[in-house]
Amino acid sequence: MDEPPPRAAAASVCDSSPLAASMCESSPLAVSMCDSSALLWRVEDLRSVRARGLVGALLGALPRTPRQNVRLGRPLLLLPEEERLLTECHIDPPTAPPAGNQDGGVELQVQQYQEAQQRSYEEQSVLALEDRKSALLRAMTSSPTESGDESLRCRLVALESSFSFPRSAMAVQLSTARAGLSYCADAGDFLRADRPIGAQDEPRRAARYQVFRDLRGRGFYLTSAGKFGGDFLVYPGDPLRFHAHFIAVCVSLDESLSLLDVLAVSRLGSNVKKTVLLCSPGTDGRVAYTSLQWSGMV
């Protein structure tokens, strides 16, 4: 039987409800694109999207700790549907690149980098020479002889005149913070492009977004449900305070489903104590919901 989930009061995300007002409130977000994935780094941006009911997924930024607790921190990865919803609600894109990165700014940065490298090479050359002198002094004074002082003086003079510090031996400091590709408009536009997808995948993307938008408009919180065999996990409130009640699976109204697939997803939902929702977007913009629940035979 087709029936909507609880809180079935129909609401569009961009209507006049308080939820819609908070969603459509204009606020600039600094979105960083990694390939076609939208990332948020600033704490104020994370707080802003969370206030709009968008959860995302914290990835963490410790490369040497691949199994880190995701609560350790940023960046926040936005679902494609969350990014699209923010775009439709007129959330401003990242601010324009600073003026210093335009009109020859790249050449200036290269010149400054080369000058800094040259200064570092000269400083390391002096330090390497002093270190070589110290090693020579320790070697000569460990076994003193009558002609040791004169020999040491000659060797020190020869060392200063013949010492050469190779550039390949330089200690290079790697920067852990980069400005990104904001200075390169073409590269930024390329990274903002979606991954190439087949024409057959576009209807499913549109269906997923229609379901996401409808459920979010009803006040539910959504996260990815890849580990549960569905499209979205549906929470009645903030995921930090509630468990998910539903596993949303997006299917079209005219799509035929295998009975084994229906049984599998229903049993999975029962095992994790969640109700499976078959979400079918219609042509009129409404979404039909069919709940599945596993029940044993007596």
Beta strands 275-281 and 246-250 are parallel
Q: Which two structure tokens, joined as six digits, stand for 96?
A: 């324009």
**Residues 6 or more apart in contact with residue 73 via CB below 8 angstroms:** 58, 60, 61
Which is the catalytic residue, given 183, 235, 245, 273? Answer: 235
Please, which residues have CB within 8 angstroms of residue 283's CB and are 6 or more apart in sequence? none
Residue in 90, 113, 121, 243 annotated catalytic: 243
> Distances in Å between the alpha carbon of 211 and those of 52, 55, 58?
17, 16, 23
The helix/strand/coil state of 21 is helix
Cα angle 69, 70, 76 (rounded to 5 degrees) comes to 160
Can you tell me the distance from the alpha carbon of 208 to that of 249, in angstroms, rounded to the nearest whole number? 9
8 A C-beta contact, residue 86 and residue 54: yes
Verify whether residue 209 is a known catalytic residue.
Answer: no
Token representation of residue 197: 């997808």
DSSP 19: H
> Is 273 a known active-site residue?
no
**Separation of alpha carbons 229 and 155, rounded Å:** 75
∠ Cα 249 250 252 (to 5°): 135
CA-based end-to-end distance of the chain:
22
Instruction: Mention every residue, 6+ apart, whose C-beta is less than 8 A from residue 24.
Output: 13, 14, 89, 90
- Residues labelled as active-site residues: 235, 243, 274
